[in-house]
A and B are shown apart, each in its own frame.
Chain A
Amino acid sequence: MSSAPKLRIDNVSMTFKTPAGAFQALAPVTLAIPQGRFVSLIGPSGCGKSTIFNIVAGLLEPTAGRVLIDGVEATGTIGRVGYMLQKDLLLPWRSVLDNVILGMEIQGVPLRKARDRALPLLQRYGLSGFEHLYPNSLSGGMRQRAALLRTLLFDTDLILLDEPFGALDAQTKLQMQEWLMQLWGDFGKTVVFVTHDIDEAIFLSDEVHVMATRPGRVVETIPVSIERPRRRTSVLTPEFLATKERCLELLTTGAFPGPSSRRHDRREVA
């Protein structure tokens, strides 16, 4: 088992049928993500990042290819990975505590036991005093924390985070990145992280996969060897800047694919 990567995406491709004809959202993509790594996917809008996530989470059946988790075929099966969508999707009628235990509850863990497990974690990871409040009284950052803890408490080794900090203000975002690093260090999970923010991707990751659009594909994999634990000042090191420059190069050439481009060009890269 130790030889197999945690997650292997094997020639996965996705073609959607639209009224205008077939639309290839994802050209065959192959990725191998080892146990315990923090890996980011960056790319322009419409490059198929979310499609990859949906396929790995089993919410979407790929047109071709396989998904292997721990070397075991997992294509089209749900409940194997923790998946945090862009929105926090906290249920407004449940307290923070009861939102966080949703995954365990669905897996059949008795409520009592699930709450007992979740409570110390909420207290340790910055939600102390918020356990019994309802989501509508929480700030954006706190809601994201709750959503992330819900994902972590789902008890899978692999978690997918789809732009979790995309809607937060710059200050909160930096705090949340450090908070996430702490969590990742404590829990030792394998994380796949999608973001539009190059700095965020490099700061957090062991490896950055740069994607391009039409069709969605991975164009380059850039290892980030900046020493951990990383500090905020790490973003000023020559190593960081060189990595960032390479990412920008790839993204800017990918973002303007020539005169034939039609739709989906609206959003900027970073």
Chain B
Amino acid sequence: MSVQDTPAVVATDLGLSHPAGADASSGRPVRRLPVQREWPGWAILAAQIGILVGVIGLWETAATRGWIDAFFWSQPSSIFHTLTIFFTAGDAWTDIGFTFRSTIFGFLLGTAAGSLFGLSFWWSRNYAAILHPYIICFESIPKLALAPLVILVFGLGLASKVAIATALTLVVSTLTTYAGVKALDQDGERLFYSLGASRLQVFCKLVVPSCLPWIISVLRVNIGLALTGAIVGEFIASQHGLGRAILYAGQTYDIALVWVAVLALSTLAVIMYATVSWLERVLRKGVRQ
């Protein structure tokens, strides 16, 4: 009989003396797995837009009411005004085109040359060993510090911007590709040689495809670096480009134009980044890794 009674007793016990949700036998707190409820997509988007509108509204209010100095901070309304002028009457497209071209050329040149350079280390271990310290040196030099020199050598035009962008991307691509070469499975090479392959065949059919994922993995990093290189080149000396527009606007206290150029630059960066990310996905699918 006492056995049958027990559940009732326990139930009462639970209800009375542990109302805060504790285990009757051990006194341990009872916890549920915390579950985060995800908001629907439109709610997230609404929140994102809300923040943007809020910040712009606050900025405009603060500037008109004199909470912040509109001379230094400018204000959304005058930025918008400058934006329309910049795109209708100004050099917007020339500047964007210039920065875009130096970035893309630098990106392509640096990535291609760096990848080939990195792959070339596979051909000779001696050559790789000799060059290795120099690569490390070149990596550790703050290359942007050399920008004034590059401008002197390559002139004020596109070439100097491309050169800086190339220098930044080249090293990253070289080192990453070299890492890929070093990570090659020795047994893969042994398989190829056991099938009577030549070195060129091993290179084309094994080394290059094996290193492709490594080469692709730096594309996104490189597009950012190339843009940085191009902008820094324009900062130092240039006749066109968004970097030059920012510098010029800053020096003439046209703060609204600074914001406009930064906005254009960010948009350009986002578009290029998205394109390269897409390219990376497509390539990755192509190489199946």
Contact = CB atoms under 8 A, between A and B. Distances in A.
Interface of A: 54, 57-59, 78-83, 85, 87, 89, 91-93, 102-103, 105-107, 134, 136, 154
Interface string B194-227: 1111000100011001001000000000000000
Interface string B158-201: 00000000000000000000000000010110111111110001
A85 B190 contact: yes
B289 A92 contact: yes
B289 A106 contact: no
A59 B195 CA distance: 10
B188 A89 contact: yes
B288 interface: yes
Interface residues on B, range: 10 to 19
B193 A85 contact: no
Main secondary structure of the interface of A (DSSP, over half): loop
A83 B187 CA distance: 11
A106 B195 CA distance: 7
B197 to A, nearest CB: 5
Contacts of A57: 194
B206 A91 contact: yes
Contacts of B271: none
Instruction: Give 5 nearest A-B pairs by CB, closest first.
Output: A79-B196, A83-B194, A103-B195, A57-B194, A93-B288
Contacts of B212: 93
B195 A93 contact: no
Contacts of B192: 106
Nearest to A60: B190
Given A91-B209, A93-B287, A79 B187 contact: no
B288 A106 contact: no
B185 A89 contact: yes
Contacts of B209: 91, 93
Contacts of A81: 194
A81 B201 CA distance: 18
6 contacts: A59-B194, A79-B194, A87-B185, A93-B289, A103-B195, A154-B195
